[in-house]
Homo-oligomer: A and B are copies of this chain.
Amino acid sequence: MGEEHWFETTVRVRYQETDQMQVVYHANYLVWFEVGRTELIRQLGFPYQRFESLGYMLPVQEARVYYKKPARYDDELIIRSKIVACEGVRLVFAYEVVRQRDGVLLVTGETHHVWTSLELKPVRLEKKEPELYALLKKYES
């Protein structure tokens, strides 16, 4: 069995991210997933804005979020991200959101992306940027 390549970053819940149920509003996890994959890519040595300066974008095609327990105001959360598929025009990330103080898993999810040009046309990264593609492929797990 291959090893898993999780990358981690942390966020602290902002007052703005709560709702009147006194927990985090559910859409914010998609924002934190984005923070997670941005940090994953940065930790690979390739800050996301370089994609856009090279003329590529990585829009979301599909997102799934599974809510187990609520996060609350001022909680420190660990956002864990990994690449689960890198093939052709597709890139798929999985995520876990863990409460730092007790390690409880709160939310999981995944997002599916397509490499595109700045005009949002699909692009085969493997042909255009083989080294970058190989780097991402290496961390697929």
Cβ-defined contact, A16 with B27, below 8 A: yes
Cβ-defined contact, B60 with A67, below 8 A: yes
Q: State whether the Cβ of A14 lies closer than 8 Å to any Cβ in chain B.
A: yes
Q: State whether the Cβ of A4 lies closer than 8 Å to any Cβ in chain B.
A: no
Residue in B18, B47, B66 whose CB lies within 8 Å of A61:
B66
How long is the Cα–Cα vector from A7 to B28 in the complex, in angstroms?
A: 25
Q: How many residues of A contact B (CB 8 A)?
A: 36
Instruction: Beyond A15-B20, A27-B28, A27-B31, list 14 extra A-B contacts (CB 8 Å).
Output: A14-B31, A14-B38, A16-B19, A18-B19, A19-B19, A22-B22, A23-B120, A26-B30, A26-B63, A59-B70, A60-B67, A63-B65, A63-B67, A70-B120
In the assembled complex, 15 residue pairs joining A and B whose CB atoms fall closer than 8 Å, in A order, are: A14-B35, A15-B20, A15-B48, A16-B19, A16-B31, A18-B20, A20-B73, A23-B59, A26-B59, A27-B28, A47-B74, A49-B73, A49-B74, A62-B67, A64-B64
